[in-house]
Amino acid sequence: MTTESERPRAGAVRATGRQVRPATEGWSQKKDAEGRPLLQFASPKRGKPPVHLADLTPEARAARIVELGMPAFRAKQLEKHYFTHYTTDPAHMTDLPASTRDEVVHGMLPPLLTLVRKLETDRGDTIKFLWKLHDGALVESVLMRYTGRITLCVSSQAGCGMNCPFCATGQAGLTRNMSAAEIVDQVVRANRLIAEGGLGDPRRVGHEGERVTNIVFMGMGEPLANYARVMQAVRVMTDKKHGMGMSARGITVSTVGLVPAITKLAAEDIPVTFALSLHAPDDELRDELIPVNSRWKVDEALDAARGYFERTGRRVSIEYALIKDMNDHGWRADLLGDKLNARGRGWVHVNPIPLNPTPGSIWTASDPEVQDEFVRRLEAKGVPTTLRDTRGKEIDGACGQLVATEEDEAVAAATPAEV
């Protein structure tokens, strides 16, 4: 149990145990004119990527096909080639008229992602992709095979504007929002690699029809800061008639706590899994760890998360990166459990995550016994809790590690764009 002597008063460090404050090392956190951590909600102005089939509604696709000189029903054929066969190669689309095939395919399925490099770990079960976008911006996605499922961690922005000091992506700032099609194309390209045996021979490890089964919006970017494009991508992923036909329950959309957008997401009537990246149950620490907490406090974020459950019936995930001597104290586990239980039972699940250290970071993961005690205290409060398995640390492919390095930028500069 948490005692009064364990829990610090506001502005005080608790007498027992070490309290490390968030700080940066090896880089400078961007600040606004008042000296507060800079938050970038609006995407910087850059040239837009070409309009792609996945950016459009089914009706708009049909209209666009007609503009290109073909009957509207050809849009359905293009959808099947792209979403089911994972191809953008006109040579594979022999059901389209040869005379106008190239023009229509390039007009509807322009190249969006150029593969710069591909790194593997976990005996080939984890693959990190570095992609170059049309304007040279770099993003990453991570493909992971687990027993019974294949998960892809996708990026929704190039960089991130939320400026969380323990996240490598946040250190880079926001380059721009990604288009819906750029988000979807990460999935299509991953499915193409799986179909070609790039995640292990499908005849040996699965079956011929293997594909990505789960999507997590936990790559580069704050998904809810790119709301419209992320939701268009989700609609395409879940559309059984005109899209990829994935289960919405297999798609996880995460946020650091953009409360108005959480409420908006709850009203979408698409039952995706919602994850709140909390990382601290007290405003004093979370203000420093998660700068957006200066806008919407812990209780506001938790109220919005509870509202998501009430609207959708979908249990909410609370993500909590355990950082040694910073947010892993027993009293914080107790406080988190109390705050969640104050909003009811059965609506939430907590995923403590051992911190993935990033270059230049002074922090590291909690000691195993501290992690176990944190989990034990939450479970003692009756809160379902699972210590998250981390993948891809050896290739900087784990949560919070996705960032384009100087070496990546050099390799990307020498990589010609795909056509």
Positions marked catalytic: 140, 399
Residue with tokens 């170059």: 132
Please return the burial class of 10, using the count of CB atoms within 10 Å of its CB with bins 0-12, 13-18 and 19+.
Answer: exposed
Are residues 124 and 199 in contact, defined by beta-carbon separation less than 8 angstroms? yes
CA 317 and chain centroid, separation: 14
Please return the burial class of 398, using the count of CB atoms within 10 Å of its CB with bins 0-12, 13-18 and 19+.
Answer: buried
DSSP secondary structure string for all residues of 90-104: GGG-TTS-TTTHHHH
Please return the burial class of 333, using the count of CB atoms within 10 Å of its CB with bins 0-12, 13-18 and 19+.
Answer: buried
Nearest residue to 316 via CA among 298, 292, 340, 342: 340
Dihedral sign computed on CA atoms, order 18, 24, 29, 31: positive
DSSP state of 80: I
Rounded Cα distance between 286 and 294, Å, is: 9
Q: How many CB atoms lie within 10 A of CB 9?
A: 9
Rounded Cα distance between 91 and 73, Å, is: 19
Rounded Cα distance between 259 and 296, Å, is: 7
Give one word for 123, left, alpha or beta, with left for phi > 0 and alpha for psi -120 to 50: left
Rounded Cα distance between 15 and 4, Å, is: 11
Dihedral sign computed on CA atoms, order 365, 369, 374, 375: positive
